[in-house]
């Protein structure tokens, strides 16, 4: 079974990867309709448009840099570079260890560094600017941020020594889990809590999208929740206490594509907190 998975992702067609992306959005979009966490008073389709635009730019950037990822993977396998190339282990352990390393560096570390590096944070602000977080928010990344993320993926592949089939498996899981933990869907608290001990659950990640500190700088994980607990960046906040957006932006313009694209370059964007900012959305 595991070998069949490895063989499949070794030759996975681009169409199948696209279907995984589209299928995830469609599935969680429907679940959000059925059991929403917050009953947002918004036009769901209109809200999705800028997020889908950023999803498209993310795909373009990833496609443009795909050859570098392939070259890096081929290099580490051929030259026996990286943890998976240095340590002999059964396939099931290769998958677990490989996914954990790729997730740690390609997702958690990339995310953490963007929050802690001022000029990177300005690009990442676009992701946090969404005041109606749902499954379409998962790939809401400024095109320049997408370049950052690809760079960390390259580093992860090098450190891991990941063959290309494992990279494709990781990327597929990463996109679906991001759609899952951003989804505006209600789960039983006991189930969400149980899930959050292994993977990042919706309620766990929603804390990260609270409009102000300290919540904004917590719960960086994408697939595995272990990293936030290990590096003490985990925080629990009840969903009833959350409001989305950022206290340093005009949160009435989260769907203004032009405004969002220029956020990293606009020196005139002031802290709305200094002007008595109050989140502009009814979360409940």
What is the per-residue pLDDT across 1-38, written as a single tens digit (0 to 9) for each?
889 999 899 998 988 999 999 999 999 999 999 999 99
Distance CA 63, CA 177 (A): 20
Whether 284 is in a domain gets the answer: no
Q: What is the pLDDT of residue 248?
A: 75
Say yes or no to pLDDT of 277 above 80.
no
Measure the CA–CA gap between 129 and 155, rounded to whole angstroms: 28
The count of domains in the chain is 1
Predicted local distance difference test score (pLDDT) of residue 269: 63
pLDDT in the model for residue 157:
98
Query: What mean pLDDT comes out for the span 74-84?
Result: 97
Distant-in-sequence, close-in-space partners of 122: CB < 8 Å, separation ≥ 6: 263, 264
| Domain presence at residue 190 | yes
Say if 93 falls within a structural domain. Answer: yes
pLDDT at 274 over 50: no
Exposed/middle/buried for residue 197 (C-beta within 10 Å: 0-12, 13-18, 19+)? exposed
Domain that holds residue 244: 2-275
Look at residue 282 and tell me if it is in a domain.
Answer: no
Q: Which residues contact 228 (CB under 8 A, 6 or more apart)?
A: 108, 218, 219, 220, 221, 234
Residue 281 included in any domain: no
CA distance 123 to 283: 25
On whether residue 107 sits in a domain, the answer given is yes
pTM: 0.92
Task: Look at residue 143 and tell me if it is in a domain.
Answer: yes
- Reported as a pLDDT band with limits 50, 70 and 90, residue 101 is very high
Q: Say whether pLDDT at 226 is over 90.
A: yes
Q: Tokens representing 47?
A: 């809200």
Asked if residue 283 is part of any domain, the answer here is no
- For the segment 137-146, what is each residue's pLDDT rounded down to a tens digit? 999 999 999 9
Distance CA 282, CA 232 (A): 31
């Amino acid at each position: 079974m595991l070998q069949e998975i490895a063989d499949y992702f070794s030759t996975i067609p681009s169409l199948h990867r696209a279907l995984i992306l589209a299928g995830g959005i469609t599935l969680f979009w429907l679940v959000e309709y059925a059991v929403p966490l917050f009953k947002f008073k918004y036009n769901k389709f209109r809200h999705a448009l800028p997020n889908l635009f950023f999803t498209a730019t993310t795909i373009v950037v990833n496609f443009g840099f795909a050859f570098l990822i392939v070259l890096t993977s081929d290099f580490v396998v051929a030259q026996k570079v990286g943890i998976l190339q240095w340590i002999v282990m059964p396939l099931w352990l290769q998958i677990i260890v490989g996914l954990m390393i790729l997730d740690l560096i390609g997702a958690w570390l990339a995310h953490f560094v963007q929050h802690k590096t001022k000029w990177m944070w300005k690009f990442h602000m676009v992701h946090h600017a969404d005041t109606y977080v749902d499954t379409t928010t998962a790939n809401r990344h400024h095109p320049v941020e997408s370049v950052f993320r690809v760079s960390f993926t390259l580093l992860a592949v090098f450190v891991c020594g990941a063959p290309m089939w494992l990279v494709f498996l990781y990327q597929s899981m990463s996109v679906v889990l991001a759609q899952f933990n951003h989804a505006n869907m209600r789960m039983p608290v006991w189930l969400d809590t149980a899930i959050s001990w292994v993977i990042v659950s919706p309620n766990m990640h929603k804390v990260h999208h609270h409009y102000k500190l300290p919540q904004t700088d917590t719960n960086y994980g994408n697939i595995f929740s272990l990293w936030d607990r290990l590096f003490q960046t985990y925080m629990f906040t009840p969903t009833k206490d959350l409001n989305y957006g950022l206290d340093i932006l005009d949160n009435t313009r989260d769907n203004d594509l032009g405004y969002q694209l220029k956020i990293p370059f606009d020196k005139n964007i002031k802290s709305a907190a200094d002007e008595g900012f109050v989140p502009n959305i009814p979360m409940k």
